[in-house]
Structure 1
Amino acid sequence: MSGRSCIVVLGVLSWVTTTSVAMLNLTLPGQHPDPEAVVRDVHSKVNYSLSRRRMQQQLPTQSGGGEDSCITGNPIDDCWKCDPNWPNNRQRLADCAIGFGQYALGGKNGQIYIVTDSSDDDAVNPRPGTLRYAVIQVEPLWIVFPANMLIRLKEELIFNSYKTLDGRGANVHIVGGGCITLQYISNVIIHNIHVHDCYSSGNTMVRSSPTHYGYRSLSDGDGISIFGSKDIWIDHCSLSHCKDGLIDAVMGSTGITISNNYFSHHNEVMLLGHNDDYLPDSGMQVTIAFNHFGEKLVQRMPRCRLGYIHVVNNDFTQWEMYAIGGSGSPTINSQGNRYIAPSNHNAKEVTKRVDTNQAKWRDWNWRSEGDIMVNGAFFIASGEGLEAKYEKAYSVEPKSAADIDLITWHAGVLGVGGRDNNLGSWNERANFLGEGGRSTTAAAPLVFFSVALTCLSLLSPNTLYLLSIL
């Protein structure tokens, strides 16, 4: 892209920002105006799904089953798995997210792309059929894997917007250099993928779109790095053994749901926020739901800076230092989780205020509601006027953590551990859309947004901060 084109695009963005400054007030694109309403919606969906399951269990068993016979109590899984033809109706998954990332479209209404080549030999000129070739394309794509694959990345796998990685029905592992990078993009769904053994890579050229490649400095070695992006949903993945974080979201990222994942064997699990003074991160909104934080985890489940983080119905198993940490005054709303403390008497506390004295953190809004504390675990809440602030959020009572085994039973990649998850084959022909499957009129603003994000990716963090406060 030419410098002149970027100047025009950023000029338009600057005009929009300047004329809307009174309304924006550091509000991020994709930020929900009422996070408490999102919290209530999550509770409502969980309660409805659990109620349907209990009602089903009370009814006499009927031959032939039916849709209700598949109800798990997990609202995400109930949404798509109850379709007996889901393997040929994969894009229904895009309607099943909950929480702040519920608007992530992924590759919905796009064509099915079949990964036929597991190699990753050239980060600048990837071959058609490879995963790297798919994720850099401009158009929406629903990316599937017809067979088990180990994809060993040579460099960061840099995504473009409107992509879904759908690993259902296959055993797909992504390992190697840099792993997954979502930078200044939107609308990505990553589902049913193993991500592990990721290490730093870079100091080389990497392609990020069909028309652009550029120099990438050394990466951190995250499993999934979310950088200045929005409308992201990561579901039913298994993550472990990476050099830095398993999932990091920084630099004004928002509209994120991290659900049904299995985390294990790692030190610094999840970082949310660039630093304590990066004000755009005050608009970060993340839902962390139905995950299992498993064996050999040390800390950061997550570690938060600024923003609103809803931690709901997760299972935390014996961290080594702490479970939830933070600095910079984030709002942490912990509801219906089970916290199982380690045997170490010095690590019983769920929470950790990082490098902050009590005089500062006593006003932070950290709340525990309906959580179960096991083996001496304890959560130190904080914040003045919490009852009034959270009264609205609690109008739909969060489900007790007593249901946590049921809700998190299938956390991680489906089909692992001998569980019957009804994973089936799918018909290639039934998944393809014909020509005219997308509206060119509706696509026009998306093209502009994609161009704008490409321009933004060329700017430094300091320049982006100045743009955010214009």
Structure 2
Amino acid sequence: MKRRTFGIAALALAATAGFGLQGTGTMAAAPPVPAAESSPVGYASMNGGTTGGAGGTTVTVSNATQFNQYVNASGRYVIQVNGTVSLSGMQRVGSDKTIVGVGTAGRITGGGLNLNGSRNVIIRNLSFSGSNDDAINVQEGATNIWIDHNDLTGANDGLLDIKRGSDFITVSWNLFHDHDKTALIGHSDDNASQDLGHLRVTYVHNWFRGTDQRHPRVRFANPVHVVNNYYSDIGSYGVASTMNAGVFVEANYFENVDRPTSLQEGDSDEGNIRASGNHLTGSGTLLTRNPGSVAAIPYSYSAETASGVKGTVTGGAGVGKI
């Protein structure tokens, strides 16, 4: 069985790697040139996989009227965004959709995308800014979601919220920057009945730059895999585990982060963190708690060595890199 390689030495390996049940990862040298996967690694590859609108109709849109027509239409669509889509609020996205920017021209502003119970959705290569709510909101049992190679900043609330029993999600190669509430998993402390056993998310090769908190902030989920991400100039904290969540913080690069990890935020109870192979420069102590209670990662993978993550991520994260 081949291992899913987060170092991305070749696209063919990314497309064909298999997944095991032991969650045993290995460390690999950083690749010389970052590349984009043709299919998701991590959780979004499980549960039947995430293919979005592949096999359906391909359309190109350049304004909100065209965009709104297709994103919640029935059936499979690959929606290519070539221009600025100015939304007036949160636009629902239906199942079996790929929404992808053309070059660096695809922009979403004024509002955000709401994946409310959606299944099998890919969002790639888009710049999000100026939302009057969240940039992307994933909720109500949405499953098999891949959020990849986007640029996210300047929302009124969160840049990426994942909550209310959503599951099998991969967040990869995104640039999150110049924002406060960045990436949330689990919206409240009293939602255990819906969230326990769900909210399984992989964060891999993201760049959190000049953001303040929630990278991610996790409730209940176990395990969440935070691997090979680059954190630079973080205001409050990096990764927070609360409400007995289990988070595996592996082979990330923390630069100028006073609190790389946190075990309690707000009124939430403490969570659990297992950490391995991280690189810290100009940063504080990486806290862990009850590492044995963090469940094994349920897919096979190879994480690149943390010292190479900064170069890999700065070279490959954000729009125009797929």
Same fold (TM over 0.5): yes
Residue in 2 that maps onto 1:195: 128
Residue in 1 that maps onto 2:276: 369
The 5 Å alignment of 1:236-315 reads 236-278=149-191, 279-282=193-196, 283-295=198-210, 297-307=211-221, 308-315=223-230
Residue in 1 that maps onto 2:231: 316
Distance 1:109 1:394, change over 3 A: closer
Residue in 2 that maps onto 1:205: none
1:318-342 Cα distance to aligned partner (Å, 9 max, x none): 2111111232111110111011134
Q: TM-score, normalised by structure 2?
A: 0.83
Deviation, structure 1 residue 277: 3.0
Distance 1:311 1:398, change over 3 A: same
Distance 1:393 1:373, change over 3 A: farther
The answer on 1:161 being equivalent to 2:68 is no
Distance 1:141 1:320, change over 3 A: same
1:408-454 Cα distance to aligned partner (Å, 9 max, x none): 1120111xxxxxx5x7xxxxxxxxxxxxxxxxxxxxxxxxxxxxxxx
Identity of aligned residues (%): 25
Distance 1:249 1:384, change over 3 A: closer
Residue in 1 that maps onto 2:59: 113
AA partner of residue 252 (structure 2):
N
Residue in 2 that maps onto 1:412: 318
1:12-37 Cα distance to aligned partner (Å, 9 max, x none): xxxxxxxxxxxxxxxxxxxxxxxxx9
Distance 1:302 1:137, change over 3 A: same
The answer on 1:49 being equivalent to 2:35 is no
The 5 Å alignment of 1:383-402 reads 383=290, 385=292, 398-402=303-307
Q: In 2, Cα distance between the equivalents of 1:151 and 1:316?
A: 29
Aligned CA RMSD, in angstroms, stands at 2.8
AA partner of residue 139 (structure 2):
F
Q: Secondary structure at the match of 1:341?
A: strand
The answer on 1:328 being equivalent to 2:243 is yes
Deviation, structure 1 residue 397: 6.4
Task: Show structure 2 runs of 5+ residues with no match.
Answer: 13-30
1:103-126 Cα distance to aligned partner (Å, 9 max, x none): 2211011011121x41x3xxxxx5
Q: Secondary structure at the match of 1:267?
A: coil
Contact 1:266 1:298 in 2 (8 A): yes
Residue in 1 that maps onto 2:85: 151
How many positions carry a matched residue from both structures? Answer: 296
- For residue 44 of structure 2, the aligned residue among 101, 125, 140 is 101
Q: Secondary structure at the match of 2:241?
A: strand
Deviation, structure 1 residue 155: 2.7
Deviation, structure 1 residue 226: 0.5
Q: In 2, Cα distance between the equivalents of 1:413 and 1:275?
A: 31
Structure 1 or 2: larger strand share? 2
Deviation, structure 1 residue 144: 1.2
The 5 Å alignment of 1:23-38 reads none
Residue in 2 that maps onto 1:67: none
Contact 2:263 2:289 in 1 (8 A): no
Structure with higher Rg: it is 1
AA partner of residue 119 (structure 2):
S
Q: In 1, Cα distance between the equivalents of 2:68 and 2:264?
A: 39
Q: In 2, Cα distance between the equivalents of 1:396 and 1:142?
A: 28
AA partner of residue 264 (structure 2):
R
Q: With CA pairs under 8 Å and 6+ residues apart, which has the higher RCO, 1 or 2?
A: 2
Q: In 1, Cα distance between the equivalents of 2:259 and 2:219?
A: 22
Distance 1:244 1:335, change over 3 A: same
